[in-house]
Amino acid sequence: MENARLEELRKRLEDSLGSAANMEALNEIRVKFLGKKGEITRLLKSMKDISAKERPRFGQMVNDLRAMAEAALEKQQKELEKKLREARIQSEAIDVSLPARRMEYGHSHPNTRAMEEVERIFIGMGYEVVEGPEIEYEENNFEKLNIPKGHPARDEQDTFYISGNILLRTQTSSVQARVMEEGKLPIRMICPGRVFRSDAVDATHSPSFHQIEGLVVDRHVTFSDLKGTLDAFAKELFGPETKTKLRPHHFPFTEPSAEVDVSCFKCGGKGCRFCKGEGWIEILGCGMVHPHVLEMCGIDPSEYSGFAFGVGLERIAILKYEIDDMRLLYENDVRFLNQF
């Protein structure tokens, strides 16, 4: 009877292995026959019910069946793994005759291009590029730039204050104050960076934008030096035919001060849509460093003089690349950025 049971069990094991089409089915067969509650395991546990005379022979037959089951399962597993590997290789095959995927290469943002162009021009004139902190002391951002308490520029509606005397800088002129305080003269520098003002977002304004400010301090620096520097800068940036015009203005940091216009590089000053028919485009502000500013930074105004200027980086990018809306520079729209 035991022989019949073993033969019937062997037959069911072989039939099950023959129908196992995947690893999940094979694992189910392993558990069914060789698991802790499997059929072959139960046979081994039932040996206590067999007579002592028949027990060795029956035990040997069960062990032989178990060894056969383990070998058959291992063989079937290897065959299934081989089929899976071949199917994966086939599905992952690369057709080397197909053209390669086109690589997408990035490029500089219009703001970055404009900044690098301005830096290149002034480095060529012997200027040093200096950076400073975006979180600044009120003293460096205002007082040392001749903007005392009570001045409209210090209004909390225009300035982001972090605490009583710490704020997000409203201009990169604060870097100029830091450099002048170091007392290493002469000074010839530009300071590009991000600044913050509480402006409503529209086509020409943003609460976060970029400035590039310049400073020269040395003996015998004159307004003529300032005009010649800015004229050379405009010609290099917008073309050799560009002309500059200075209009009187007021800045607390400088005295005398001026706004600088350049002749329209689209129409040559004749008047067009780009310059709104005026022939001139305003690009920056400038002036001679106020003697009081020099004094507050530890520089003797009777021996040294200097000039300063500031230009909005976005203003340069908008003019140079003919962008109609400043917001496009910050929206990260690939359709817009791909044009540059």
**pLDDT for 84-137, tens place per residue?**
888 888 887 777 787 777 887 888 899 999 999 999 999 999 999 999 999 999
With 70 as the cut, is the pLDDT of residue 165 above it?
yes
CA–CA separation, 9 and 209 (whole Å)? 82
CATH topology of domain 110-337: BirA Bifunctional Protein; domain 2 (3.30.930)
Alpha-carbon separation of residue 16 from 7, 9, 19, 27, 42 (angstroms): 14, 11, 5, 11, 18
Task: Examine the pLDDT at 195 and tell me if it is beyond 80.
Answer: yes
H-run or E-run covering 228:
helix 223-238
β-strand partners of 254: 251, 289
Model pTM score: 0.66
How far apart CA 263 and CA 146 sit, in angstroms, is 32
Closest by CA to 70, choosing from 24, 38, 22, is 38
Residue 180 near residue 187 (C-beta atoms within 8 A): yes
Give the range among 27-41, 185-199, 225-239 with minimum mean pLDDT: 27-41
CA atoms of 237 and 336, how far apart (whole Å): 23
Nearest to 274 by CA among 288, 264, 284: 264
CB-based contacts of 70-74 (< 8 A; 24+ apart in sequence): 70/34, 72/13, 72/14, 72/17, 73/17, 73/26, 73/29, 73/30, 73/34
Most confident of 39-53, 62-76, 142-156, 185-199: 185-199
pLDDT at 164 over 70: yes
pLDDT given at position 51: 67
Task: Determine the residue type at 183.
Answer: G
The residue extents of the domains of the chain are 2-91, 110-337
pLDDT above 70 for 3: no
Least confident of 56-65, 145-154, 178-187, 291-300: 56-65
- The dihedrals phi and psi of 274, each to the nearest 5 degrees, come to -65, -40
